[in-house]
Amino acid sequence: MRGPDAHGRFGPFGGRYVPETLMNALIDLEQAFRQCIDDQSFQEDLHTLLEEYAGRPTSLHEASRLSDALGGARIWLKREDLLHTGAHKINNALGQGLLARRMGKRAIIAETGAGQHGVASATVAALLGLTCHVYMGEEDMRRQQLNVFRMQLLGAHVVPVTSGTRTLKDAGNEALRQWVAQVEHTAYMLGSAVGPHPYPMIVRAFQRIIGKETRQQFLARCNTLPDVLVACVGGGSNAIGFFDAFVDDASVQLIGVEAAGSGLDTDAHAATVSKGTPGVFQGSLSLVLQDRHGQVLPAHSISAGLDYPGIGPEHAYLHHINRAQYVAVTDDEAMHAVEVLARHEGIIAALETAHAVAYVLKCAPRMPRDAHIVLCVSGRGDKDVSTMMAYKEAHA
Amino acid sequence: MNALHTTFAALRKQGTVACIPFVTVGDPDLEVTRALLPALAAAGAHVIELGVPYSDPLADGPVIQRATARALAHGTTIGDVLQLAQDTRIDGLDVPLVLFSYINPIMQYGINALIADAARSGISGLIVPDLPYEEAQDVRATARDHGIALIPLVAPTSHARIASIVAHADGFVYCVSSLGVTGERASFASEGFALIETVASLTDVPVCVGFGISAPEHVAQFSRCCDGIIVGSALVRTIEQHSEALLDRSRRVQATRDVAHFLRTLFSQSSGGAQ
């Protein structure tokens, strides 16, 4: 039985822990979503946009040179990086944008870490004629200047968030606070599979196209299912959309790769499953990096999109029932993986994606030549080149 | 009998609106909070809300966010807040105390343990701003067993939910005056007043209002239609402005009086008025 249940729970995780002011908005959103998802004209509109505007279906590319170099399993890449705006985030932004328009909302607000969801939101707002405010931590604005400028070019207002660690977690808090103040006319476009019910369910629904296409494409090419799927996990939206079509196939191993930052033996990481404990954070019960008094701890990752101390409740559940495994790779491993993938396949992956690549570099050589790994290339690395340059200079 | 019931029953008889200050415990430090509480009581507080600092206060605006950060900078915990409640009883404070905490610190302490310890520490009520009634079964049942009132919030957007929420209400109902997070407002639209009226028509439990109340005119306006008024951000900002003097033992007594004076002034025009 796939969650969530009527209370928004995936097993013990999920739920709705928000100020009362937001409760009816979440209930209305859930209702509107359930209507749209069964509505043919909504599905047609979304399908058309995904195909003609965003560039779906994305290809499934066999990474032959990389596979040969590693000498183990055959590696396949699901190319979400080829989508308009450069990452899987556009799938969800188009879905939630259409939903907002159906609900009669004229304005959207969004949070962003790496800026990919912010850019996707700003893009969809421009396309659908909605006003858009994107909340972004000051630290992330510094790390992702290119995306800040892209959002501004698209006509969005980027609002710097100066509280806390000035990263994704604080942007999420501030977006929720702003939503509380203008809930009746504004849609909150949440970018990851986190937050209060129904967001984890909605984000999964709009991202499940990744796994659905992968399954069809892989079956058509190989007439079997892959052995392992690997995706990076911050909040976990690309991973949940990628895994979704395979969750019932027990033979397919699902692996989420978190950011180990400077290392799991340090305080500077974002490995929520490896190091977190159950708690409520940003509206749902899941695993959280926190101290024993329930204060949320700052996360660290070189990748702004993974720099988050929480994780979507469905991932916590898949971990809980041992259906998916979660591993962590360090900043250094991710940076190395960017170069390996670039030099063998001509693809510069986003730093988020690079974490998944790094894990594949470790596990593929240990697997037989007839095994298949599919890696979700969740985004392209253009936004990260200045971070990469700074890293290389510091480690020269 | 719960001390909140006794206090509100007495106030209703007198026709006095309850003065309910909120403080973030540990801002600027625990010793200062301990010194402030008797001063607030002397300035007319009928109930005091003790705010537990939490790293990600979703319902709070910048003033309480800053107070929270100051309190967390020296590691204030929910256990410290309960200890403070006990200490103030030793100091002779007798106004009912309400614990205000986000759910995660409560969960990590353990719901049963927290409520049992709160009862032992002389806490009368509990407000959890991110625990809507659908998620509150465990907390509500445990609180009831220990004689602690779980005080629900209702918002201008609650509409059809109001009846179900107030059906479970105990202690008082906390009406959110207007949309938005905590923080001072210049004025209030009619929605807050309409909300209070709706809630009052559905329950005999006292109806209090908070969020944004920061001027004597606000208190005067709301005191005509509700049983109590909660003052958070405006008071917390005053504490912030006096924090240097509050931290200096030689200036603390005067600074404490200044903060208390602010509260007294706010309520100077209320019907019945705080003494």
Q: What percent of chain A clears pLDDT 70, i.e. is strictly above it?
A: 100
**A180, A181, A296 member nearest B56 (Cβ):** A296
Question: Cα distance from A283 to chain B (closest Cα, Å)?
Answer: 8
pLDDT tens per residue across span A1-56: 578 999 999 999 999 999 999 999 999 999 999 999 999 999 999 999 999 999 99
Q: Do B158 and A20 touch (CB under 8 A)?
A: yes
Q: Are residues A26 and A72 in the same domain?
A: no
Give residue A355's pLDDT band: very low, low, confident or very high (50, 70, 90): very high
My answer on whether omega of the bond before B28 falls inside 30° of 0, hence cis, is yes
Q: Are residues A279 and A385 in the same domain?
A: yes
- Residue A3 belongs to a domain: no
CA–CA distance, B74 with B68 (Å, rounded to integer): 10
Q: Answer whether B125's CB lies under 8 Å from B99's CB.
A: yes
The alpha carbon torsion through B66, B68, B72, B78 (nearest 10 deg) reads: 180
- Of the three residues A157, A183, A203, the one that is the final residue of a domain is A203
- Residue A358 belongs to a domain: yes
Active site includes A378? yes
Q: What token pair was written down for B72?
A: 């967390």
CA-nearest residue to A179 within chain B is B180
Q: Answer whether B263's CB lies under 8 Å from B235's CB.
A: yes
CATH number (domain holding residue A133): 3.40.50.1100
Q: How many CB atoms lie within 10 A of CB A278?
A: 16
Residues of B in contact with A279 (CB under 8 A): 104, 107-108
Q: Answer whether A191's CB lies under 8 Å from A111's CB.
A: yes
Domain span at residue A113?
10-50+89-203
Active site includes A383? no
The upper half-sphere exposure of residue A65, i.e. CA atoms within 13 Å in the direction of its Cβ, equals 8
Q: Are residues A216 and A276 in the same domain?
A: yes
Q: Do B134 and A7 touch (CB under 8 A)?
A: yes
Q: Answer whether B208's CB lies under 8 Å from B227's CB.
A: yes
Residues of A in contact with B130 (CB under 8 A): 17-19, 280, 283
* Residue of B27, B60, B170, B184 marked catalytic: B60
Q: What percent of chain A clears pLDDT 90, i.e. is strictly above it?
A: 93
What is the average pLDDT across B182-209?
94
Does B99 touch chain A if contact means CB atoms closer than 8 Å?
no
CA–CA distance, B230 with B46 (Å, rounded to integer): 10
- Which residue is it, tokens 């009052």? B200
Q: Do B134 and A17 touch (CB under 8 A)?
A: no
* pLDDT computed for residue B269 by the predictor: 79
* pLDDT computed for residue B270 by the predictor: 75
pLDDT tens per residue across span A77-121: 999 999 999 999 999 999 999 999 999 999 999 999 889 999 999
Provide the mean pLDDT of chain A: 96
Query: Which residues fall within 8 angstroms of residue B14, CB to CB, at 6 or more apart?
Result: B272
Q: What token pair was written down for B268?
A: 């100077």
- In 3D, which of A267, A310, A304, A300 has the Cα closest to residue A388? A304
Give residue B271's pLDDT band: very low, low, confident or very high (50, 70, 90): low
CA–CA distance, B100 with B60 (Å, rounded to integer): 12
Total domains present in chain A: 2
Q: Are residues A214 and A350 in the same domain?
A: yes
Given phi > 0 = left and psi -120 to 50 = alpha, else beta, which region is A354? Answer: alpha
Q: Do A24 and B129 touch (CB under 8 A)?
A: no
CA-nearest residue to B79 within chain A is A293
3-state secondary structure of A100: helix
Q: Answer whether A380's CB lies under 8 Å from A87's CB.
A: yes
Query: Which residues fall within 8 angstroms of residue A226, CB to CB, at 6 or more apart?
Result: A76, A218, A246, A252, A372, A373, A374
Domain coordinates in residue numbering, chain B: 15-265
pLDDT tens per residue across span A267-308: 999 999 999 999 999 999 999 999 999 999 999 999 989 999
**Which numeric CATH code is attached to B15-265?**
3.20.20.70
* pLDDT computed for residue A79 by the predictor: 98
Q: How many CB atoms lie within 10 A of CB A258?
A: 31
Give residue B273's pLDDT band: very low, low, confident or very high (50, 70, 90): very low
Q: Are residues A127 and A261 in the same domain?
A: no
CA-nearest residue to B128 within chain A is A19
Q: Are residues A158 and A267 in the same domain?
A: no
Q: Answer whether A8's CB lies under 8 Å from A198's CB.
A: yes
* B29 to B35, B53, B236, B240: CA distances (angstroms): 10, 12, 13, 11
* pLDDT computed for residue A1 by the predictor: 54
Active site includes A362? no
Residues of A in contact with B135 (CB under 8 A): 15-17
Q: Are residues A99 and A167 in the same domain?
A: yes
Q: Answer whether A77's CB lies under 8 Å from A345's CB.
A: yes
DSSP letter for each residue of A15-69: -----HHHHHHHHHHHHHHHHHHT-HHHHHHHHHIIIIII-PSPPEEE-HHHHHH
Q: Are residues A72 and A215 in the same domain?
A: yes
Q: Do B155 and A173 touch (CB under 8 A)?
A: no
Give residue A396's pLDDT band: very low, low, confident or very high (50, 70, 90): confident
Residues of A in contact with B154 (CB under 8 A): 20
Q: Do A20 and B176 touch (CB under 8 A)?
A: yes
Q: Do A281 and B154 touch (CB under 8 A)?
A: no
What is the average pLDDT across B229-244?
98
- Residue A95 belongs to a domain: yes
Q: Are residues A238 and A326 in the same domain?
A: yes
Is the confidence at residue B83, as pLDDT, over 80? Answer: yes
Residues of A in contact with B177 (CB under 8 A): none
Beta bridge partners of B11: none
CA–CA distance, B263 with B268 (Å, rounded to integer): 9
Residues of A in contact with B179 (CB under 8 A): 21, 180-184
pLDDT tens per residue across span A152-188: 999 999 999 998 888 899 999 999 999 988 988 999 9
* A244 to A75, A247, A250, A307, A350: CA distances (angstroms): 20, 5, 12, 23, 22
Residues of B in contact with A26 (CB under 8 A): none
- Of the three residues A173, A203, A233, the one that is the final residue of a domain is A203
**A16, A24, A281 member nearest B104 (Cβ):** A281
- In 3D, which of A15, A22, A6, A174 has the Cα closest to residue B153? A22
Does B268 touch chain A if contact means CB atoms closer than 8 Å?
no
Q: Do B135 and A16 touch (CB under 8 A)?
A: yes
Q: Do B58 and A282 touch (CB under 8 A)?
A: yes
Q: Are residues A222 and A276 in the same domain?
A: yes
Give residue B82's pLDDT band: very low, low, confident or very high (50, 70, 90): very high
Q: Are residues A66 and A198 in the same domain?
A: no
Q: Are residues A252 and A359 in the same domain?
A: yes
- Of the three residues A156, A188, A203, the one that is the final residue of a domain is A203
Is the confidence at residue B275, as pLDDT, over 70? Answer: no
The packing angle between helices B137-145 and B111-120, to 10°, is: 30
- Residue A5 belongs to a domain: no
